[in-house]
Chain A
Amino acid sequence: MFNFNEGPERLTKPPPDRSKISVGARKMTLRSFLINHNALLILILLIIGSAIWSPIFLSSNNIVNILRQQVSFLLVGVGILIVMLTGGIDLSVASIVGLGSVLLTEFVAMNDLPLIPAILITLLACAALGAINGFLVAFLKMAPFIVTLAMSFAGLGLVFIVTGGAFRMLTGSDPLIPGFIEFGMANDPVFGIPWRVYVSAFIVIIFWLIMAYTSFGRMTKAVGSNPAAVSLAGIDIRKYQFLAYVICAFLSGLAGILVTAGAGSSAPTTAQGDWAMTSIAAVIIGGGSISGGKGTVPYTVVGIFIMAVIGNIMNLASVPAHPQWVVRAIVIILAIFLRSVIASKDSR
């Protein structure tokens, strides 16, 4: 009876010629290219500049070094991106990375759990903290900034309660453990790149595909773009907000496990690292937005590597750690400034 949907050709007269609509994106102009891809340009320029400036930069050792350092940041970055797409923020990632790192050694070294169950329980515990974040934000409508700030304190507390503040080696009776450490630390299994880089890259690619090609990705972005309209369109926005925090915590926990694997040990101070701020900065440099609905996985990766290359080249130049932070700050501001300048010209 309601055959509106069955017979698309039935309705009204055929559309007039002038309403010819294409389904593809518009042709790219130089300006739209600059707006959408400025982060990639910055990265390429940085790489070219660094390569000219220092011959060591493009050496395979140095490249592997950069990749190895970014393994965990990539995962946290993708997690933060998904939360930020929904219009939220997650400040608790550092604590959860730390917790992921120490829980694994705690289970294996102190409680003598087999490796695989220990990893699974660790991931579950981290995801549970994310679920608390998500529940408070999505269902109780609390401010993400405050909820995750509180969680970052709680997580940090947990890390020190669990470890008693102790540094611990990853040892245990499970025969898989030496292999796991080998997996984390080995420097040249394939093309001189450690395994965990591949693991991290694999997960990033999976999430890239999820965010770009599935309804979950589409809806997550839509929820952050305009929650009121999306909710009135018959979509349960709470589900997507909730899942974003769970995924972010899960990926953070996984990042922590890879930290432990890479070091063969865990330290509670991992939870005090600059995970949150660096990842948020990377998302934003890659075109993401605090107010939600913007950003992609590939450009988050680009953002993370921009941060990484800057750090690396300054290390090569023997710039001390503290001035490095100032330079990072300048680059962040510059990247955002550049984008807003191009974009404001566009709106004229």
Chain B
Amino acid sequence: MSALKYDDTYQLMMQGIHKSYGGVSALKDVSLNVKPGEIHALMGENGAGKSTLIKVLSGAEKADSGAIHIRGKKVHISGPKDGIANGVSVIYQEFALVPDLSVAENIFIDEFRNQHALVSFKQLNKRASEFLDEIGFGNINPAMLVGELTTAYQQVIEICKALSRNAHILVLDEPTAVLTNKEVEQLFVLLNRLRDKGVSIIYISHRLEEVFRLGDRVTVLKDGRYVDTKEMADIDQQQLVNMMIGRNLDDYFPKRQSNIGKLAMKVEHLKAGRMVRDVSFDVHEGEVVGLSGLVGSGRTEAIRAMLGVDKLDSGKVTLGDKEVRITSPKKAFSIGVGMLSEDRKHEGVVLTMPIKYNISLSCLKRFCSKVGGIISRKKEDQFTLDFAQKVSLRAASLMDEVNTLSGGNQQKVGIARLLASGCKVMILDEPTRGVDVGAKIEIFNIINEMVAQNYAVVIISSEMAEVIGMCDRAFVIREGVSVGVLQKDELSEQNIINYVMGVTADV
């Protein structure tokens, strides 16, 4: 542990932080120095130690050794209260808001704890208004219920709550994961404003573009160790990725030999509710087709309606050369069309079940006796182990519950289940969302292997780089309508954006 003198250019200094869980070390001599009025990106693959470091800072975990200085004073943070008392606020992806209380009540919720007499709601609303005004969101009515606000505004309220506690160190954990592109812009405006007021913002994100747009400096962690801190202006994406993974961006999207076969599935003129107005796409054997578009453009809804999860108003689905009617996911699987949801935790995997049961979920019949449905454990063990290895799953035991795995490995369990189901057409909705770079590459490799085996793969992705890097063709969907298809050689950010924004006349 290095004994550093406090340097008053920093609002927060974390030095020589060590933390281990039962002999496994999660943080080894990690440092993080953040200046006042800067947006400091904290990067690293999942498991690099970002969240542990943040937990140490907020008081959710206690460091084994190391020193934390805030505004030049050595502080001891041993519980969440100490974190708040020292001006540290962490905004998690799941907000800690009460949906049935008003905006003002949520912002000042701490005060209710000590309030023994009556509350003046008029005054409360006025104070909330002032707060909101100050950060440029005076348009939010403080008397409104938080549950009625959009996710983005809820995030604003969460930040406001932090500020009402005099937070001068604000930590945001993947704040844009839950936002639409427009809302992301609003958030960035707010963060920039807070920076100008002297708040230190620690920003955790997997999205490189955001980090480069927003960040002043970046600290990279890898395997629980400190790698480096850089001025954002001094490095490019390539260098940052190299710092995180020690790998080249060229390897980011592994190359594959496309060998496109005959038409596997053709979907025409899907209509479902207000979100899906006219969606068409098709996919061949051995081909990866992307569905590109903004979040909320109706891609997920189109797939859900197509598979009979939600109501389909009209449309035609042809599989091979036969027209099919898919009335339920069960029907879809039985004719060889499988889907993995974008919402891994709620719709993708069963978190509280063992890995093994998750992988065999869609094809359990295969190991069951005809009469009585008795499961053959031996067959199931062998089969699920094969598929776990195919997706290079990292787990100690197949009987571990899925929620003990990292996000990337959870996703691999979902993909393994889909592979095991034997479906020929695979629809993957945001397959790499919330997954670290290493696991992303592994997932891309799995997809490449799938198409090499003649599977037809459809990827819904909001990351343009992913669509460009992985897909043979991409359909662009805007406001529930398929507005165009881009061939491999036309796939560029510019072309996609043109379609997405509707500026294109001829590409």
Contacts and interface: CB of A to CB of B under 8 A. Distances in A.
B349 interface: yes
8 contacts: A11-B449, A21-B388, A21-B397, A213-B375, A230-B350, A231-B329, A235-B330, A235-B362
Interface stretch (A104-112, A160-168, A220-228): A220-228
Contact of B399 (A3, A26, A231, A294): A26
B395 A21 contact: yes
Given A219-B364, A233-B329, A234-B330, A2 B453 contact: yes
Given A226-B346, A234-B329, 19 more contacts: A2-B453, A2-B454, A11-B453, A14-B389, A16-B392, A18-B394, A21-B389, A22-B396, A22-B397, A26-B399, A214-B375, A215-B364, A218-B357, A229-B341, A229-B347, A229-B349, A233-B361, A234-B334, A234-B362
B368 to A, nearest CB: 5
A191 interface: no
B392 A24 contact: no
Given A19-B392, A234-B338, A234-B362, A24 B421 contact: no
A5 B388 contact: no
A8 interface: yes
B399 A24 contact: yes
Nearest to A236: B330
A140 interface: no
Interface in A211-259: 213-216, 218-219, 221-222, 225-226, 228-236
A231 B308 CA distance: 11
Contacts of A215: 364-365, 368, 373, 375
A4 B353 contact: no
B385 A23 contact: yes
A12 interface: yes
Nearest 9 pairs between A and B by C-beta? A234-B333, A8-B386, A215-B373, A25-B399, A15-B389, A23-B381, A226-B350, A214-B373, A22-B397
Nearest to B361: A233
Interface in B323-370: 328-330, 332-334, 338-339, 341, 346-353, 356-357, 361-362, 364-365, 368
Nearest to B384: A23
A184 interface: no
B386 A222 contact: no
B458 to A, nearest CB: 15
Interface residues of A, number: 42
A34 B314 CA distance: 55
A226 B352 contact: yes
Contacts of A23: 356, 381, 384-385, 397-399
A218 B364 contact: yes
A11 B392 contact: no
B255 to A, nearest CB: 15
Interface of A: 1-5, 8-12, 14-16, 18-19, 21-26, 213-216, 218-219, 221-222, 225-226, 228-236, 293-294
Contacts of B393: 19, 21
Interface string B434-463: 000000000001100110011100000000
Nearest to A26: B397
Interface in B390-445: 390, 392-400, 417, 419-422, 424, 445
A26 B357 contact: no
A236 B364 CA distance: 13
Given A12-B449, A26-B397, A232 B361 contact: no
Contacts of A12: 390, 392, 445-446, 449
Given A215-B364, A215-B373, A2 B392 contact: no
Contacts of A235: 329-330, 361-362
A232 B309 contact: yes
A228 B344 CA distance: 11
Nearest to B400: A26
A231 B328 CA distance: 9
Contact of B453 (A3, A213, A234): A3
B502 interface: no
A236 B357 contact: no
Nearest to B397: A22
Contacts of A225: 350-353
Contacts of A229: 341, 346-350
A243 to B, nearest CB: 12
A224 to B, nearest CB: 10
A1 B351 contact: no
A322 to B, nearest CB: 38
B86 to A, nearest CB: 22
Max chain B Cβ within 10 angstroms of own Cβ: one of A1, A25, A232: A232
B374 interface: yes
Contacts of A2: 422, 424, 453-455
A244 B419 CA distance: 30
Contacts of B349: 226, 229
A3 to B, nearest CB: 7
Contact of B374 (A21, A25, A213): A213
B193 to A, nearest CB: 37
Interface string B134-152: 0000000000000000000
Contact of B385 (A21, A219, A236): A21
B276 to A, nearest CB: 18
Contacts of B420: 5
Contact of A22 (B346, B398, B449, B453): B398
A84 to B, nearest CB: 14
A236 B341 contact: no
Contacts of A24: 397, 399
A293 to B, nearest CB: 6
Contact of B368 (A3, A214, A236, A294): A214
B361 to A, nearest CB: 5
Contacts of A233: 329, 333, 361-362, 417, 421
B372 interface: yes
A291 B365 CA distance: 26
Contacts of A4: 419, 422, 450, 453, 455
Interface string B280-297: 000001000000000000
Contact of B350 (A18, A222, A294): A222
A14 B333 CA distance: 28
B388 to A, nearest CB: 6
A347 B265 CA distance: 45
Contacts of A222: 350, 353, 357, 361
B138 to A, nearest CB: 39
A228 B346 contact: yes
A264 to B, nearest CB: 36
Contacts of B361: 222, 230, 233, 235
Contact of A26 (B330, B346, B396, B421): B396
A220 to B, nearest CB: 11
Contacts of A231: 309, 329
Contacts of A228: 341, 346-347
B352 A15 contact: no
B332 A15 contact: no
A239 B159 CA distance: 45
Nearest to B349: A229
A230 B446 CA distance: 23
